[in-house]
Structure 1
Amino acid sequence: MEVGIWLVLGLAALPALGNFAGGLLADWLRPSKHTLNLALHASAGIILAVIAVEVMPQALPVAPAWLLALAFIGGGAAYLAMEAGVDRWQRSKPGGAGTGAWMVYVAVATDLIGDGLLIGAGSAVSGELALVLALGQLLADGPEGFAVVANFRDKGFGRVKRMLISASFALPVIGAALLAYFVLRGQGEVVKMAALVFVGGLFTLAAVEDMLREAHDSAGDSRWSAASLIAGFALFMIVSGSLD
């Protein structure tokens, strides 16, 4: 499938749509914290499946294993650097009303930049790969949108303002996707695959350290939490296999 700019824009909009849908769910249905725990575990399972089922099998036959290992480590290091930056920003802010909600906003926006990079890098490889990656992020981003809107609701922000905040997440993901697409378009396959694995390393830490930590903070884990993680992994396998 030939990848054009409009396809990249459409695919990058999918994670933002999933995030916005999660925000709507939090605003209208107000699920329990236990439900959020289960959803976040499922999201982590989906992200791990994206890396294991799509990214690594595409990259390993193309690029040297040592290069991919370095790229994966580099992605993890980039995540740790972004997390340190967010932590410094959090510590610099006074503890006034709404500050905690904006901290969650910054963290989720950072994750969505990673979504965009993954989709943009995938688009530089093939439209089919980009579609599968975008669908995976669409499924995974709902709980993050839920967390943001729930936090702003608890801080007293009105519904219109909450929805505008939720819609603004389209900007980082689309911008990052376009950046990655234009930077990688025309590059060799080894470079493209190394870039994909780099973002894969970033997302592996995001799933394990960020999503699961947020799940643990929202409610205590149970056997259903573990089952949700496995179910999320299996769901993406089904989606990927169906599209293949």
Structure 2
Amino acid sequence: MGDLLLVVLLALVPAAANMLGGLLAEAVSLSARVFSAALHLAGGIVIAVVGLELMPRALEADPAWLPMVAFAVGGGLFLGVDALSGYLRARASASGAGGGWLGIYFGVALDLFSDGVMIGTGSVINPGLGLLLAVGQAPADLPEGFAAQAAFRRAGVRLRWRVPAGLGFVVPILLGAALGYLALRGAPDVVTLSVLAFTGGALLSVVVEEMIPEAHEAKRSRLDSFYLTLGFVVFAAATTYLR
């Protein structure tokens, strides 16, 4: 039980960073340009998570084709979420707020879940590795929390619902950490790595189908690709120098 408590405490580090980003989104003025920049930055971070952390680890499985299939299934699963998001857009008010915030929320929750899985599984190998993974994820989760809370505001979600929704992000990361530590520590490596790949497929679909289109609807800028690559570099630096 003591080891599980340690894993939970480690998972709270990136969760706190995510909530801090949400608080910043509530405190600052959210122009269309700021919102678009935050989404591109968060999108670059998610792509880096998939490309630098999830899939390289997943492809270490034997056989490697199982995580590949899981990756494709994860992307396909998102189609259902995207369909629901489109339904909400159709029923949204004519103000143009849209329902894309649901897909963004789902994407951030999935990313936090994958963070938790990595922290949990890393802690099984070595508590020090779990600590490094937790600290390394924190810089990436702050802009994601900002982007998600900003999406709530732009969609017209009331403050009394935005606050518990933002606080609710602690659930997927704690769930992922517990799953990684308890359920997957005795499972074959191929199962654990396939779970990571499944999450990666869904995350990549979220970026392509929801986060970037939502950012472009808010405001297009010549700096969009720069923010996307900057987000990638932020996570790459975190995972390189904080590990």
Q: Pick the TM interval, shorter chain.
A: 0.7 to 0.9
Deviations 1:129-166 (A, max 9, x none): 652674365144133333245236x56x45x6643443
The residue number in structure 1 matching 2:239 is 240
Residue 150 of structure 1 aligns with an amino acid whose one-letter code is R
Task: Go from structure 1 to structure 2 and tell me whether the alpha carbon gap of 1:186 and 1:124 turns closer, same or farther (over 3 Å shift).
Answer: farther
Alignment of 1:1-244 (within 5 A): 4-14=3-13, 16-88=15-87, 90=88, 95=93, 103=99, 106-127=102-123, 128=129, 130-131=133-134, 134-135=137-138, 137-151=140-154, 154=156, 157=158, 162-175=162-175, 177-179=177-179, 181-222=181-222, 224-244=223-243
- Mean CA deviation greater in 67-76 or 161-170: 161-170
Coordinate RMSD, CA, aligned: 3.2
Structure 2 unaligned spans of 5+: 124-128
Match of 1:79, SS state, is helix
TM-score computed with the length of structure 2 as normaliser: 0.79
Residue 210 of structure 1 aligns with an amino acid whose one-letter code is E
Sequence identity percentage: 29
Q: Return the offset for 1:48.
A: 0.8
Q: Return the offset for 1:216.
A: 0.6
**Residues 15, 173 of structure 2: 8 Å contact kept:** yes
Q: How many Å separate the matches in 2 of 1:4 and 1:108?
A: 33
Q: How many Å separate the matches in 1 of 2:14 and 2:100?
A: 17
Residue 178 of structure 1 aligns with an amino acid whose one-letter code is A
Match of 1:141, SS state, is helix
Structure 1 unaligned spans of 5+: none
Q: How many Å separate the matches in 2 of 1:148 and 1:18?
A: 18
TM-score computed with the length of structure 1 as normaliser: 0.78
**Residues 75, 205 of structure 2: 8 Å contact kept:** yes
Q: How many residues align?
A: 235
Q: Return the offset for 1:31.
A: 3.6
